[in-house]
Amino acid sequence: MSSAETSAPAEPQSIEETGLDEAFLKELALKLIYYSHRPTGQAIADALCLPFGPIVSSILQGLRAEQLIEVEGAASGMEHAYRYGVTNKGRERALGALEVSQYVGPAPVPLDTYRQTVKAHSIQHIQVTGAMIEKALEHLVLPRELINDLGIAVNRCRSLFIWGEPGNGKTAIAEAIADMLPGRVYVPYAIICDFHIIRVFDATVHRPIASDRASSVQRYDHRWVPCQRPFVAVGGELQLSSLDLAWDEVAKFYEAPIQMKANGGMLLIDDFGRQQISPRSLLNRWIVPLEKRVDYLNLRSGKKIDVPFDVLVVFSTNLEPRDLCDEAFLRRITNKVLVPDPTREQFAEIFRRVCRDRGVPFSVEGLKYLYLNHYWDTKRNEPRRPLRCCHPRDILDQVCSIARFRGVPPQLEPSLLDAACRSTFGESVSEETAAS
């Protein structure tokens, strides 16, 4: 792990080092006190994610000097234990501030600071070895060539097009890659640009990890959350609006788009080509970010802001690439990887593993019966249906359910396999009999 990946944003030691205006911080603290019940100075500092001594103490003293807050008690004689409440004047000021923005929480970081920190912890810094990619994919049965191609693609950390028939593990491969990305990122709770607040940290996306504050020479800035590299997955629900800032009319602040939340990690566009927006529209939206690694977002004022596009974008689809997009789009996707159907040997290995996991005794005779009666047309001497990596799981889950219903042990015997295939593939009894 490189020093760039482990270094944390340093804790600010003055209002100036926060990069924020003192009046803004006073307003944020005032709103927080207004919403809270007699919070202590330390509780206010914790909520703002700023150190009490050099910063929050000064802010509270300023609010007291303006007669916006007052001390209403103390948990002890120490200043950080004073309890605060708003005055009538402070209440009016807080209500006016809330009409502008209802954001209350950790102090945001300036947009310029965000850009610098994303660059310092960029996904471009990572290096994936053959051993790492093999370890990440060892739970899957994949051809050696495919594993090598995936390793090369991840090392480039640009964009990846994974395609192939449904049920062969494209999504599982993407998830495994996301889990293996080394290092950490620091995600801000929120950023600020021209007094516009954009919330970035999302508990449904970001996975915090234990901080190294105690062992660090520098006390890190708690406005940032140390996280594993993010993994954001979207499917058919993706809309063009999901790729821009989302303005909350009630709260009056922005929510970051999905690609911004994925900075430093992976963004999976699953079932590409089946979204509510066309592949061409998506290309037109991301043609600059994919090449320049910079994205442009729109504020309600009409101003555009540029933010990092530091993302490994993975497009996963069951459709042929040439049927989805033109050559110009495919050229901008730096790696294309086909996930093929499994061979008979690979299918057998997957079946063995699933039998082991489900507690079903594996039988070569049972697997042979399954293949000859449900995958091969003996009369025409040709395949009846293609092998898929998901079939062993689907068939064995049915075998276990049917066996439980019949009150017999699950095993690879003809009547259970026939019944499981009827349910899995929608075969009629007549089709099954004909196959036999």
367 part of a folded domain: yes
Sort strands 109-110 and 190-193 into parallel, antiparallel or unpaired. Answer: parallel
- Residue 216: partners with Cβ closer than 8 Å, 6 or more residues away: 8
**Residues 250, 389 within the same domain:** no
**Residues 245, 357 within the same domain:** no
Of 309, 338, 367, the last residue of a domain is 338
The one-character DSSP state at 305 is E
SS3 state of residue 254? strand
- Maximum C-alpha span of the chain: 93
3 part of a folded domain: no
- The tens digit of pLDDT for each residue in 99-151 reads 999 999 999 999 999 999 999 999 988 888 899 999 999 999 999 999 999 99
Domain that includes residue 429, residue range = 344-435
5 part of a folded domain: no
End-to-end distance of the chain based on CA atoms, in angstroms? 57
Q: How many domains does the chain have?
A: 3
Estimate to the nearest angstrom the gap between the alpha carbon of 141 and the chain centroid: 25
What's the CATH code of the domain at 63?
1.10.10.10
Structure-block tokens of residue 141: 């049965």
Query: Which residues sit opposite 188 in a β-bridge?
Result: 224
Going by C-alpha positions, the residue among 249, 152, 259 that lies closest to residue 200 is 259
**Residues 164, 237 within the same domain:** yes
Structure-block tokens of residue 402: 């049917």
User: What pLDDT, on a 0 to 100 scale, did the predictor assign at position 435?
Assistant: 53
Distance CA 60, CA 68 (A): 9
User: Residue 325, Cβ neighbours under 10 Å: how many?
Assistant: 22
**Residues 212, 349 within the same domain:** no
User: What pLDDT, on a 0 to 100 scale, did the predictor assign at position 370?
Assistant: 96
**Positive or negative torsion for Cα 143, 137, 126, 267:** positive
SS3 state of residue 209? coil
**Residues 81, 136 within the same domain:** no
Confidence of residue 219 (pLDDT cuts 50, 70, 90): confident
Share of the chain above pLDDT 90, in %: 71
Packing angle between helix 144-156 and helix 170-180, nearest 10 degrees?
50
**Residues 313, 370 within the same domain:** no
Structure-block tokens of residue 393: 């799981």
Q: Report which listed range, 71-75, 278-282, 404-408, is most confident.
A: 404-408
pLDDT beyond 90 at 334: no
Q: Which residue has the tokens 């092998």?
A: 387
Distance CA 341, CA 71 (A): 70
**Residues 236, 149 within the same domain:** yes
Of 319, 338, 357, the last residue of a domain is 338
70 part of a folded domain: yes
7 part of a folded domain: no
pLDDT beyond 80 at 324: no
**Residues 196, 279 within the same domain:** yes
pLDDT beyond 70 at 310: yes
**Residues 293, 199 within the same domain:** yes
- The tens digit of pLDDT for each residue in 264-302 reads 999 999 988 887 788 778 878 888 888 889 999 999 988
15 part of a folded domain: no
Distance CA 135, CA 148 (A): 12
**Residues 147, 296 within the same domain:** yes
Structure-block tokens of residue 275: 């979204």
Distance CA 111, CA 151 (A): 33
User: What pLDDT, on a 0 to 100 scale, did the predictor assign at position 283?
Assistant: 78
User: What pLDDT, on a 0 to 100 scale, did the predictor assign at position 4?
Assistant: 40
* Reported pTM: 0.87
* Residue positions counted in the chain: 436
User: What pLDDT, on a 0 to 100 scale, did the predictor assign at position 251?
Assistant: 94
Virtual torsion, Cα 284, 151, 201, 194, nearest 10 deg: -50
SS3 state of residue 295? strand
Share of the chain above pLDDT 70, in %: 94
**Residues 305, 173 within the same domain:** yes
User: What pLDDT, on a 0 to 100 scale, did the predictor assign at position 2?
Assistant: 41
Average pLDDT over the chain, rounded to an integer: 90
Mean pLDDT of the 20-42 span:
96
User: What pLDDT, on a 0 to 100 scale, did the predictor assign at position 74?
Assistant: 86
The one-character DSSP state at 273 is T
334 part of a folded domain: yes
9 part of a folded domain: no
What's the CATH code of the domain at 198?
3.40.50.300
Distance CA 147, CA 383 (A): 27
Mean pLDDT of the 6-15 span:
88
**Residues 217, 164 within the same domain:** yes
Of 51, 73, 104, the last residue of a domain is 104
Q: Which residue has the tokens 């399954």?
A: 370
Distance CA 186, CA 190 (A): 12
